[in-house]
Amino acid sequence: MSQASPSSAAASVAPVRFSLRRVWTLAYATMTQLMRMKILPFLLLFCALVAAMGFGFSTINPEQQLSQFKTMSLGVLQVFSIVFGIVATALLLPKDLEDRTLYTILSKPVPRFDYLLGKLLGVLMLIASGLVIIDAVLSLILWLQQSMLFASAVSQLHSENQDSPEAVAQMREIVARQGLTWNLHWAVWAIFLKAAVVTTVALLLSCIASSTLFTIVITFCITIIGHGHAMIREFIFQPNLGSTATRIATFLLAAICPDLAQFDVVDSVANGEIVPWIAVYEMTGIAALYMTVYLFVTHLVFVEKEL
């Protein structure tokens, strides 16, 4: 009839609750840890590259120059955010294991979920900060370039005696459509959402895998498959195509990978398309759904992981 004393029983069963403050501390520490990996000089280099690209294109017309600038900058930004998200996340867990930081943290009353969420938020905060800085630089350069190109186009029309109000109005409309608009920021937001989903996938894989290289390679593969997800779905929904084994394999692939092409609004934005609110809601909603489920699965894997 031996019973544990009330105090020892309480100590063994008392659950450690989820703490936002703890998650924030972990996220901040992760961000600092990544900052030490010389991310800032890379960011500055990228900004300089964007600035140089803004004025470096050969031009046939102002619209072409503005559009090329936007397409190139946003494309490079997309690559930067995805590469950074994958590599940084893949390095985090092995580095914490190597430095023994993981044991120090988890030996304290820190639930593993808090740890995972803190790590993920840290990476996402750094990606978001980078994107905000680059977005600001991009907007400034675009605005400057837009003003300069409009002035030069009008003066050229004037010198050719073609500066009728209609011609100037058309030029203004073209330059304004291709210049700085809110849509540019929505494109950057879409880039962030895509990077966030890829980062969550990388976190899941880094919990399963034992090697950093494996995590990086497989996440890149999933990223590539994710961009062709619509084609995979088309194949699945087509009856009479492929053998049963192929269809099952394709189905599994489609079920596991996220559809990353849903966030590919960058090209349309560079072409001057307007991004409606409903599109922003849909993209944000589906990204949140992917992240929630993948994070939950990561937690299920990580909670049982022997460290």
Partner 1 sequence: MKRKLQAAAVLLIFGVLKLPLEQRVTHDLRTMHLVDEPLHLGVKGNMGQMGLAAAFGGLRGLIATVFQLRAHVEFTRVNWAQVDKYYGFVTQLQPRNARYWEEASWHMAYNAASYYLYNKELKSGLRGTLYHDYVKRGLDILEEGLKIMPDNPRLWQKLGDLHWNRSKDFKASGDAYLSSFQHGGLNFTERFAGFAYAQANDPDSWAKGYAILKKLYAEKKATPGLIEFLKMLEQNLHIPAAQRIPDAGPVRTIPTPQSGPLRP
Residues forming the site for partner 1 (CB under 8 A): 57-58, 60, 63-64, 67-68, 71-72, 74-76, 78-79, 166, 169-170, 173, 194, 224-225, 227-231, 233-234, 236-237, 252, 254-256, 259-268, 270-271, 273, 275-276, 278-279, 282-283, 286, 289-290, 293, 296-297, 300-301, 303-304
Name the 3-class secondary structure at 7. helix
Helices (H), the chain: 6-13, 20-35, 39-56, 62-98, 101-106, 112-159, 165-178, 182-208, 212-227, 229-237, 244-256, 266-270, 277-303
CB 27 to partner 1: min, Å: 23
Looking at the Cβ atoms of 72 and 154, the one nearer to partner 1 is 72
Give me the long-range contacts of 144-149 (CB less than 8 A, separation at least 24). Answer: 144/54, 145/54, 145/55, 145/65, 145/66, 145/69, 145/179, 146/66, 146/175, 146/176, 146/178, 146/179, 146/180, 149/62, 149/65, 149/66, 149/175
Looking at the Cβ atoms of 81 and 89, the one nearer to partner 1 is 81
DSSP 250-302: HHHHHHHS--GGGG--HHHHHTT----HHHHHHHHHHHHHHHHHHHHHHHHHH
CB 31 to partner 1: min, Å: 26
CB 141 to partner 1: min, Å: 16
Q: Which two tokens stand for residue 231?
A: 């084609």
Looking at the Cβ atoms of 37 and 230, the one nearer to partner 1 is 230
Looking at the Cβ atoms of 99 and 267, the one nearer to partner 1 is 267
Looking at the Cβ atoms of 99 and 282, the one nearer to partner 1 is 282
Looking at the Cβ atoms of 153 and 270, the one nearer to partner 1 is 270
The distance in angstroms from the start CA to the end CA of the chain is 36
CB 22 to partner 1: min, Å: 22
CB 80 to partner 1: min, Å: 12
Q: Which two tokens stand for residue 289?
A: 């759904």
CB 200 to partner 1: min, Å: 13
